[in-house]
Amino acid sequence: MNELASLLLVDDDPTFLSVLSRAMEKRGFLVQSASCVSDALVLAEANPPEYAVIDLKMPGDSGLVLVKRLKEIDAATRIVVLTGYASIATAVEAIKLGATHYLAKPAKAEDIMAALQRDGEGDASASVNPNPMSVNRLEWEHIQSVLAENDGNISATARSLNMHRRTLQRKLSKKPARD
């Protein structure tokens, strides 16, 4: 008897969670879903998933906390991190913590399937973008990097950047600048 691969979906957007859950079930997964890190941990500890798709930014703990904990529960779990707030700093951190791949939202079910099936090896044939990032995007990336270095502490980050805390908060509340 064929056993379905287990997949844990974690996202605070109930509509996205429902749609992606149905799409992944159609692709042969036994899906469990949660809307926050604490609920996901309860599910994962009871039944460690073979695969996981995790939103990065949710109320409460970050998806990065869940990535780390899932790898502690089962090092073989293949994890894809999704986010609408893509930055180089969080992508690097997600991969360091054990994520297999990192995708920016909106991501299609086919993209998520391809990311889950990646073997973890890099792609040397990946094309290099001939257009450099905009100054606004570079600023966003730098702020995210300094924020990560300061463990998400806004006040410490503002001091490191020599910026007023409220100015930093205003910049962080905006979506990242497009390339």
Three-state secondary structure readout of the chain: CCCCEEEEEECCCHHHHHHHHHHHHHCCEEEEEECCHHHHHHHHHHCCCCEEEEECCCCCCCHHHHHHHHHHHCCCCEEEEEECCCCHHHHHHHHHHCCCEEEECCCCHHHHHHHHHCCCCCCCCCCCCCCCCCHHHHHHHHHHHHHHHCCCCHHHHHHHHCCCHHHHHHHHHCCCCCC
Same domain for 109 and 56: yes
Express each pLDDT in 114-147 by its tens digit: 888 876 555 545 555 566 667 777 787 788 878 8
Q: What integer best gives the mean pLDDT of the chain? A: 84
Lowest mean pLDDT among 60-69, 111-120, 159-168: 111-120
Same domain for 85 and 57: yes
Between residues 21 and 94, the one the model is more confident about: 21
Domain extent for 140: 135-173
Q: Is-above-0.85 flag for pTM?
A: no
Domain assignment of residue 49, yes or no? yes
